[in-house]
C-alpha cells in the first residue's frame, strides 16, 4: 500500500537556491527564446541530417566521438557497425562530389564535402522578418570521406579502440570525458546547499 493510498501528506521540499531564469530580455531575444521553446510546433527543427559520398564503404557516424556518452554505448555495436551507423547510412542524403574529389588529400576532401553540404544542402531558414538561421543543424552527420583503402584501415583501428574502450568502461570509469560538467555528483546537496558547501 502506498502513502497515497493512506492519504498521508507528501512533504514537498523547496530548494534553498533557485535556478537562474531569464529576465530583462530584449523583445527580440524574448521572441527567439519563445520561438525555440515551441519545440515541435515550430517550423525549424534540429533533427539529424546525415550526408554521404554515396559509396558502399562510406562512414557517416564517428562512434569514437560518442564514447563519452554512456547512453549511446548500447547502439554502437560489438563487432559490426551498430544501430547508429546503419540508421544514418539508410537516411543519408547523397552529396554531389567534384570530379577530382577522390584525388584530393583527406583534409581537402573533408573540407570540400563540408563546404558543399553547408552551402547547398543544409537549409537556410527564414523564421521571422528579421531572423535567418543558416546551418542551424546541431546533429549534422557528415561522411568521413575515406577511400576504400582508408576505410579498411579505419575499421581495423576502430574495432580495436572500441574493445579497449568497452573494457575501460566496464572497469567502472563510466563518463570520463572533457564535458563531464553537466554530470554533477551529489546533485541534491548542490541544489540544497550550493556549490561552495
Q: Are 55 and 101 in contact (CB under 8 A)?
A: no
In the predicted model, what is the mean pLDDT of residues 113-138?
A: 84
Confirm whether 58 is domain-assigned. yes
pTM: 0.70
Residues 6+ apart with CB under 8 A from 126: 132
In the predicted model, what is the mean pLDDT of residues 32-48?
A: 85
**Confidence class for position 148, pLDDT limits 50, 70, 90:** very high
Checking if the pLDDT of 40 tops 90, the result is no
Q: What pLDDT is recorded for position 10? A: 74
In the predicted model, what is the mean pLDDT of residues 32-53?
A: 87
Could you give the C-alpha distances from 105 to 108, 109, 111, in angstroms and in order? Answer: 5, 6, 10
Tally of domains within the chain: 1
Q: What pLDDT is recorded for position 117? A: 95
Query: Cα(159)–Cα(82) distance, rounded to whole angstroms?
Result: 12
Confirm whether 13 is domain-assigned. no
Confirm whether 74 is domain-assigned. yes
**Confidence class for position 80, pLDDT limits 50, 70, 90:** confident
**Confidence class for position 97, pLDDT limits 50, 70, 90:** very high
Which range (27-31, 77-81, 101-105, 177-181) has the least confidence? 177-181
**Confidence class for position 8, pLDDT limits 50, 70, 90:** low
Q: What pLDDT is recorded for position 94? A: 98
Confirm whether 182 is domain-assigned. no
Q: What pLDDT is recorded for position 76? A: 86
State whether the Cα torsion 169-173-174-178 is positive or negative: negative
Describe the strand order of the beta sheet including 93-94 as a list of residue ranges.
93-94, 49-52, 140-141
Confirm whether 189 is domain-assigned. no
For residue 61, what is its C-alpha cell?
Answer: 557516424
Confirm whether 116 is domain-assigned. yes
**Domain span including residue 101:** 44-171
Confirm whether 193 is domain-assigned. no
Confirm whether 141 is domain-assigned. yes
Q: Which of 12-26, 43-57, 90-104 has the highest mean pLDDT?
A: 90-104
Amino acid at each position: 500500500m502506498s502513502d497515497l493510498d493512506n492519504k498521508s501528506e507528501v512533504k514537498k521540499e523547496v530548494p534553498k537556491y533557485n535556478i537562474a531564469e531569464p529576465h530583462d530580455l530584449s523583445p527580440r531575444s524574448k521572441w527567439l527564446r519563445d520561438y525555440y521553446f515551441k519545440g515541435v510546433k515550430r517550423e525549424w527543427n534540429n533533427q539529424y541530417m546525415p550526408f554521404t559520398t554515396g559509396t558502399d564503404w562510406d562512414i557517416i557516424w564517428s562512434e569514437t566521438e560518442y564514447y563519452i556518452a554512456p547512453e549511446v554505448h548500447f547502439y554502437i555495436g560489438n563487432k559490426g557497425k551498430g544501430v547508429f551507423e546503419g540508421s544514418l547510412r539508410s537516411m543519408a542524403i547523397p552529396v554531389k562530389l567534384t570530379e577530382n574529389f577522390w584525388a584530393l588529400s583527406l583534409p581537402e576532401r573533408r573540407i570540400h564535402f563540408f563546404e558543399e553540404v553547408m552551402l547547398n544542402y543544409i537549409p537556410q531558414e527564414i523564421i521571422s522578418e528579421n531572423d535567418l538561421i543558416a546551418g542551424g543543424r546541431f546533429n549534422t552527420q557528415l561522411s568521413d570521406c575515406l577511400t576504400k583503402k582508408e576505410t579498411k584501415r579505419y575499421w581495423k583501428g576502430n574495432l580495436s579502440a572500441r574493445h579497449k574502450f568497452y573494457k575501460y568502461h566496464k572497469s567502472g570509469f563510466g563518463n570520463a570525458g572533457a564535458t563531464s560538467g553537466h554530470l554533477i555528483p551529489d546533485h541534491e546537496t548542490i541544489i540544497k546547499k550550493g556549490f561552495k558547501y
